[in-house]
Structure formats: structure tokens, C-alpha cells
Amino acid sequence: MSEPNPVTLRLSQSGESVQGNFWEQVGGRPTFERLVRRFYEGVATDPVLLPMYPEADLEGAIQRLTGFLEQYWGGPGTYSEERGHPRLRQRHMPFKVNPDARDRWLQHMRAAVDSLGLSPLHDATLWAYLERAAHAMVNTFEE
């Protein structure tokens, strides 16, 4: 019989050991859908961000961001099958992503992440990525 791994990561003191990739650990597709739908509820109220989305309804944008995030975190690769290589910075060039837009994006995303009630470790992991990615997306300092 092999010894149990003494450094197995656990979700809480009494919790089960953590298995699977991040996407699985946080609940798979339904969790990412909740995240992105909640995020776009915030975008829909935002006078700076909303005009950047020309389509009358945000459904297409919701599907693209959900698919991208699922793929990034270990879920199905549907995003790239449909959209090719993400090239996110390039795809954001048509939009004026200044620090104000970035901070608004992050504010709506923070509310969306909060709504999931993830474990502190999962929350911190997801948030660190989103913050870094949002800072990397800034393409102008014009007001």
C-alpha cells in the first residue's frame, strides 16, 4: 500500500483533496456561464463599456468570453475551434481600452467573481489572472 501524499491540497480543513483541473474544481461550464453572465449584467449598465459592443444583444460576446475562459482554465477547446488562436491583445485593438475602461471591466468582473462564492484559493487564482490580463489589454492612455 502506498503512503498517502502528505501535502495533498484540501479545500478546507475537513474537505476532500483537490482533484481535476481548475475548470473542473470550480464546477465546469455552469460556473463560467454564471461568471460571464453576471459580468455582462454589469457591462450592460456601464456608459463607457456598453457602447463598445455594437451588437444589439450581448449574447455573442457572452458565448465568446465564456468559451475563452473555459478553454484557458482547462475546459473544452471549443473557443479556438470556432475562433482560432485567441490573440486577445490584437482582437482588442479596435476598442479604446484605456485605464478607465480597464478599471470598469475589472469592477464588473470583481462583482461577478464575488457572486460565485469560490474557495479563497480559487478566488485568488482566478482574480490574479483576470487582473493581469486586464492590465495587459490596455492599448491607449488617451482619455
Binding site for ligand HEM (CB under 6 A): 49, 52-53, 60-61, 64-65, 68, 83, 88, 91-92, 95, 97, 101-102, 105, 130, 133-134, 137
CB of 131 to ligand HEM, least distance (A): 8
Nearer to ligand HEM, 82 or 114 (CB): 82
C-alpha cell at 106: 475589472
- As a whole number of angstroms, the distance between CA 28 and CA 51 comes to 30
Distance CA 79, CA 76 (A): 8
Toward ligand HEM, which CB reaches closer, 98 or 115? 98
List CB contacts of 43: < 8 A, sequence separation 6 or more. Answer: 49, 50, 53, 58, 105, 108
92 marked ligand binding residue: no
Closer residue to ligand HEM (CB): 101 or 112: 101
Q: Smallest distance, Å, CB 126 to ligand HEM? A: 10
50 sits in the region (left: phi over 0; alpha: psi -120 to 50; else beta) called alpha
Binding site, annotated residues for heme: 135
